[in-house]
């Protein structure tokens, strides 16, 4: 079963209206005179409309994982697994796991574990391509920290990409986070970074395709 995200309602409706208008104009001007060009343009309009609508799809999935597991918060591909200095909240070394989301991926984002939201912050910024090294610190982004019941905190960050122009996040300090519950959405190409404690067992590798709510990224110690 597939549904569509509420963040895309106005965009999808506007796209359908534009599609119908362009299709009518295309038919009126070209259908009887240059049928080949009419057909080519009409197929292009249909493909473009499909790409826009599929971007906001939300597949129905059941979250899989144990209480100590870190569940993937986004669909996409793992592009970074490395030890880094996290400078916004922890100000110490963490294991960074980054997931790149192409425009063809589902773009809803989900809590990677259960606990309490202890920190949130939105940062306006640039729109570098999502795989650029400075996108984590220079791009439009939001940061959220969840504290697990065992006291361990995990930070995850939505990062806008070159095509993205709006990050939507719903988490607020004090909220009870549930693993697999939605905390945000990024419109068009983007990335999600997670900062895990040193010693976290990582269960994915660079280049691996992952699915939100299903793929286990690691296990807390």
Contact 81, 45 (CB under 8 A): no
Closest to 155 in 3D by CA, of 104, 120, 206: 120
Burial classification of residue 197, based on how many CB atoms lie within 10 Å of its CB (0-12 exposed, 13-18 middle, 19 or more buried): middle
State the Cα–Cα distance between residues 200 and 82, nearest whole angstrom.
Answer: 12
Q: Point out the catalytic residue in the list 98, 114, 136, 190.
A: 190
Q: What angle do CA 155, 207, 2 make, to 5 degrees?
A: 75
Residue 74 DSSP SS3: coil
Q: Is 190 a catalytic residue?
A: yes
**DSSP annotation string for 102-142:** -TTS--EEE-SS-EEEEEEEEE--B---TTSTTHHHHBSEE
| Strand pairing category for 182-186 and 167-169 | antiparallel
Q: Which residue numbers are catalytic?
A: 190
């Amino acid at each position: 079963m597939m549904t569509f995200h509420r963040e895309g309602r106005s965009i999808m409706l506007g796209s359908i209206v534009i599609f119908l208008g362009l299709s009518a104009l295309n038919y009126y001007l070209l259908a009887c005179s240059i049928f080949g060009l009419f057909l080519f343009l009409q197929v292009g309009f249909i493909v473009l409309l499909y790409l826009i609508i599929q971007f906001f799809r939300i597949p129905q999935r059941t979250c899989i994982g144990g209480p100590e597991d870190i569940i993937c918060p986004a669909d996409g591909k793992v592009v970074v697994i490395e030890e880094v200095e996290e400078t916004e909240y922890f100000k110490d070394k963490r294991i960074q796991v980054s997931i790149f989301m192409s425009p063809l991926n589902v773009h809803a984002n989900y809590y990677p574990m259960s606990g309490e939201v202890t920190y949130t912050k939105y940062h306006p910024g640039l729109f570098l391509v999502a795989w650029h090294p400075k996108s984590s610190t220079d791009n439009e982004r939001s940061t959220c920290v969840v504290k697990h019941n065992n006291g361990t905190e995990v930070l995850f960050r939505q990062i806008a990409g070159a095509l993205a122009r709006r990050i939507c996040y719903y988490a607020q300090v004090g909220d009870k986070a549930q693993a697999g519950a939605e905390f945000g959405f990024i419109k068009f190409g983007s990335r999600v970074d997670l900062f895990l404690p040193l010693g976290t067992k990582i269960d994915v590798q660079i280049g691996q395709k992952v699915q939100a709510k299903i793929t286990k990224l690691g296990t807390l110690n």
